[in-house]
Amino acid sequence: MTNSKSENSTPFSSLENRSLKTVWHPCTQMKQHETFPLVPIVRGKGVWLYDSDDNGYIDTISSWWVNLFGHTNPQINAAICDQLEKIEHVMLAGFTHEPVVELSERLKQLAPGNLGHCFYASDGASAIEIALKMSFHYWLLNGQTQKNKFVSLQNDYHGETLGALSVTDVAIFKKTYAPLLRPCDHVPTPDWRYAEDDDTPEQHALKAANALDEYLAKHHAETAALIIEPLVQGAMGMGMYHPIYLKRAREICDQYHVHLIADEIAMGFGRTGTMFACNQADITPDFLCLAKGLSSGYLPISVVMTTDDVFQGFYHDQSTHAFLHSHTHTGNALACRAALATLDIFAQNDVLENNKVKAAYLNQAAKPLAAHPKVKNFRNCGMIWAFEVETDDADFAEKCFAAGLPHQLLLRPLGNTVYFMPPYVINEEEIDLVLNGTLQVINTLTKNG
Ligand SMILES: Cc1ncc(COP(=O)(O)O)c(C=O)c1O
């Protein structure tokens, strides 16, 4: 990697200013950019992102948790280029094509249990809307008209369209829009950070499962589905929990005839150490929502996988019995090819085993960081690491992001939770850069070193 200014680079301020004039950036108070410049990215390679001055930054969060096999991955690039010469997109109503059929067949093989029917959309929130509607509609077609509510976990995040936001429990995203949302209850989280009485992760998860049991004992008649982020609650600071909760949640949902929706939009495709988080509890949800890593972050694609039982519920002579959701780019051929190339990389390489070796290396090398006096709850699940930094600074996250850049790091804490969710292609040298740079950033921000 080089740090010299390339001859043809766009002047930093020019691209940044053009962007601020016309692009409304997500999850951003735009006024902050009066003092805090945007980073204009012109290219990427592997875990590295490069700005217009050719400064490199390690993408420690996989560009919002999507990138599995590095930027500009040759295998995925080639698959998309090949597909471009055939058909880029055709609507999926009345038509079909090889990439969407092959992708569905391969996902069916990979997914737990009998999740053999795939409904596609473009983003995570859309997949959640589809799963919620499908669950409600299934019960409606079965004469259970009162089942029109959903329950989710305290601290869950499921996206920010109105349905997805209704089942989300993250105040910063939800509070303002509350008048627009459907009421939804949230049962206690199994996240171990909330454990009391020195409970182990398993004990805490079992207590949370008991609370779910009590809730559904009272509310099962009006509840269509429980929706959860399995094993790791991402947006609320990578809260990790014991798989026993998933096992109990499955049993409890079965007992009360309530669907279980597993939102693996962020956690699917190896992030938690197994292909799907649900694998760690050996359970099959009624709906499995996938996105992000599905195309290794290349192109927007999401899918809701469901059972034959649900599918058959809609299979009827009358078209009014059909599932009613029309999404323009469902099954986009280019995105399906990116997803197939992603699955090829899994099939041709021992990705999950290799990740275990990388995780062991990172855990060992992270000991000085984990032992830092201001670092709390250092934790790891698969290819996710997180810890809280003890600070009173309300602007810690923004400062950490800014302080990371000179250390060649894209760090984007969630509040005072710093986390790493790197592309799986990260190597040991790059892991060392991440850990050493982060330690220096924490030292600077906590004036401790
Ligand atoms: C668990 C989970 N569900 C849903 C979503 C929403 O996905 P999208 O941003 O693609 O709408 C996200 C996004 O981070 C997520 O982490």
pLDDT class for 16, splitting at 50, 70, 90?
confident
Residue nearest to atom 8 of ligand 1 (CA): 124
pLDDT class for 7, splitting at 50, 70, 90?
very low
Residue 14 pLDDT: 81
Decide whether any atom of ligand 1 lies within 6 Å of the 157 Cβ.
yes
Looking at every residue in the chain, the average pLDDT score rounds to: 95
Residue 35 pLDDT: 87
- Ligand 1 atom nearest to 123, measured from its CA: 10
> Mean of the pLDDT values across residues 257-274?
98
Residue 1 pLDDT: 38
- Ligand 1 atom nearest to 234, measured from its CA: 16
Decide whether any atom of ligand 1 lies within 6 Å of the 263 Cβ.
yes
Decide whether any atom of ligand 1 lies within 6 Å of the 191 Cβ.
no
pLDDT class for 10, splitting at 50, 70, 90?
very low
- Residue 107 predicted with pLDDT over 60: yes
Q: How far is the CA of 366 from the centre of ligand 1 (A)?
A: 28
Dump pLDDT digits (tens) for 354-412.
999 999 999 999 999 999 999 999 999 999 999 999 999 999 999 999 999 999 999 99
Q: How far is the CA of 266 from the centre of ligand 1 (A)?
A: 6
Decide whether any atom of ligand 1 lies within 6 Å of the 266 Cβ.
yes
What percent of the chain clears pLDDT 70, i.e. is strictly above it? 97
pLDDT class for 56, splitting at 50, 70, 90?
very high
Q: How far is the CA of 265 from the centre of ligand 1 (A)?
A: 6
- Ligand 1 atom nearest to 156, measured from its CA: 1
Residue 8 pLDDT: 43
- Residue 449 predicted with pLDDT over 80: no
- Residue 5 predicted with pLDDT over 50: no
Residue 319 pLDDT: 87
Q: How far is the CA of 289 from the centre of ligand 1 (A)?
A: 10
Q: How many Å apart are CA 411 and CA 13, to the nearest integer?
A: 22
> Mean of the pLDDT values across residues 183-204?
97
- Residue 115 predicted with pLDDT over 70: yes
> Mean of the pLDDT values across residues 65-80?
98
- Residue 11 predicted with pLDDT over 60: no
Q: How far is the CA of 154 from the centre of ligand 1 (A)?
A: 16
- Residue 423 predicted with pLDDT over 70: yes
Decide whether any atom of ligand 1 lies within 6 Å of the 208 Cβ.
no
Residue 448 pLDDT: 56
Dump pLDDT digits (tens) for 142-153.
999 999 999 999
Decide whether any atom of ligand 1 lies within 6 Å of the 264 Cβ.
no
Residue 259 pLDDT: 98
Indicate the top mutation candidate among 27, 158, 189 to test ligand 1's pocket, ranked by most ligand atoms within 8 A of CB.
158
Dump pLDDT digits (tens) for 201-251.
999 999 999 999 999 999 999 999 999 999 999 999 999 999 999 999 999
Dump pLDDT digits (tens) for 281-340.
999 999 999 999 999 999 999 999 999 999 999 999 998 899 999 999 999 999 999 999
Residue 13 pLDDT: 58
Domains of the chain: 12-36+45-72+351-440 (3.90.1150.10), 86-348 (3.40.640.10)
> Mean of the pLDDT values across residues 30-39?
90
- Residue 6 predicted with pLDDT over 50: no
Q: How many Å apart are CA 249 and CA 251, to the nearest integer?
A: 5
Residue 3 pLDDT: 40
Of 25-29, 68-72, 127-131, 345-349, least confident by mean pLDDT is: 25-29
pLDDT class for 36, splitting at 50, 70, 90?
confident
Q: How far is the CA of 230 from the centre of ligand 1 (A)?
A: 13
Decide whether any atom of ligand 1 lies within 6 Å of the 234 Cβ.
yes
